[in-house]
Amino acid sequence: MRINYAFLAAMALLAGCASLLRDEDNLSAEDRAAFRAFYASLRQEVALRGLSPDALDASYGTESPRPVGPVLKAEKKQPEVVNTFAQYTTRVVSPFRVEKGQRLYTENLDALEKVQAQTGVSASVITALWGVETSYGSVQGDHPVIPALVTLAWKSHRGNFFKNQVFDALKVSEKSGKAPAELKGSWAGAMGQCQFMPSNYLAYGRDGNGDSKVDIWATPEDVFASAGTFLHALGWQQGKGWKFPVTQKIRTSHIKLNSRGLSAPYTLAEWKNHGLKQLPEGFRSTDKFRLYRPEEDGPTYLLSPNFDVILGWNNSSYFVFAVLTLADKLAEPPTEPEPETPAEGVAE
């Protein structure tokens, strides 16, 4: 298919994406020259891989290729301002998100249950991830994905990872039929309602509504099918719990907890050797669990392998705990409305 990149560039400009590209005033002349050299060699690599350098250029709309200022700023600011566990969980599992999730869970039940049957991943977990990643599709990020990835390929310490994501993003553009400049997402290049990196789109993107297209931006059925496929590939175990309170006192002096209170994974057999008496039921003795005490004076938990599955999606224990807590709330049967108390003393 011939693609009119000039036309696409004009459309992109109309869409206003170029305004995100201009914030590069703080770059030194050396940096600008270094970026130009990097970009020229990137174009060559793109061509060597059988992809289109013109498509790469087209991702900048009518602008000339340049580093994306907000991406540079965001990359420098990492890690973000850190909330405490309680602050994070309260913010993410907010009454608003629970309520909206319950409504959308019900509205999309057929599509969600279809994915649950196909992948073994709970409908509530898929809904919760959808809710935490993009507030159920409503906040997907408006950074131009390819220029953002190019910027990270140039400046990030994980440059090679992001360079490969640039190549994959060009493939996503070809496969999805979305113009290069139309690909929008987070500053780190995550796209669509489930915030997939381009490589995840290629590996796990699925068509859920049968139109032969994988549209993770605007088709919830495709979002659910893709998220379910990814979680299944990460090893989700169907119907297994994730959080088991540890009520007995156990010696933890020899178990190292990281700064967020999470231990390395150990098999249930090893936990038994550590003196743990009450072990979660329905698991194999070789299943690996982590100990978690996110707050110094708060409860301690054993976390099942499904916790690690969500860690594979986003390697933050706070994120995973919040997602699975939200999923539990969405899976709860809706509470019966309080029966109206008949007004007293009303005589017919």
CB 145 within 8 A of CB 197: no
What is the Cβ-side half-sphere exposure of residue 55, based on CA atoms within 13 angstroms?
Answer: 26
Query: Taking phi first (over 0 means left), then psi (-120 to 50 degrees means alpha), and beta for anything else, what does residue 195 get?
Result: left
Tokens of 39: 């970009």
Q: How far is Cα 45 from Cα 68, in angstroms, rounded to an integer?
A: 21
Tell me the residue nearest to Ca ion as measured from the CB: 207
Task: For Ca ion, give the closer residue by CB, 213 or 329.
Answer: 213
Distance from C-alpha of 98 to C-alpha of 254, rounded to nearest angstrom: 38
Placement of tokens 């005589």 in the chain: 347
Q: Report, in Å, the least distance between residue 212 CB and Ca ion.
A: 7
Tokens of 333: 């049967």
Binding site for Ca ion (CB under 5 A): 207, 209, 211, 213, 219, 222
Report in angstroms how near the CB of residue 296 gets to Ca ion at its nearest. Answer: 47
* Residues sharing a CB contact under 8 Å with residue 53, sequence separation 6 or more, in sequence order: 43, 44, 46, 47
Of residues 113 and 211, the one with the C-beta less far from Ca ion: 211
Minimal distance, residue 210 CB to Ca ion, in Å:
7
Give least dist CB 178 to Ca ion, A: 13
CB of residue 220 vs Ca ion: minimum separation in angstroms? 10
Q: Which is nearer to Ca ion, 107 or 332 (CB)?
A: 107
Comparing CB distances to Ca ion, the nearer of 207 and 328 is 207
Question: What is the DSSP code (8-state) at residue 196?
Answer: B
The DSSP line for 104-148 is HHHHTHHHHHHHHHHH---HHHHHHHHHHHHTTTT----EEHHHH
CB of 225 to Ca ion, least distance (A): 8
For residues 129 and 200, what is the distance between their CA atoms, to the nearest angstrom?
Answer: 15
Q: Which residues pair with 291 in a beta bridge?
A: 302
Q: Which one, 172 or 246, has the nearer CB to Ca ion? A: 172
Shortest CB 116 distance to Ca ion, Å:
18
Q: At what angle do helices 95-107 and 317-331 cross, to 10 degrees?
A: 60
- Would you say 100 or 213 has its CB closer to Ca ion? 213
Q: Which residue's CB is nearer to Ca ion, number 45 or number 207?
A: 207
Taking the complex as a whole, the smallest distance from the CB of residue 211 to Ca ion amounts, in Å, to: 4
Q: Are 101 and 131 in contact (CB under 8 A)?
A: yes
Return the number of the residue (101 or 205) whose C-beta is nearest Ca ion. Answer: 205
Instruction: Give residues with Cβ within 8 angstroms of 79, minimum separation 6.
Output: none
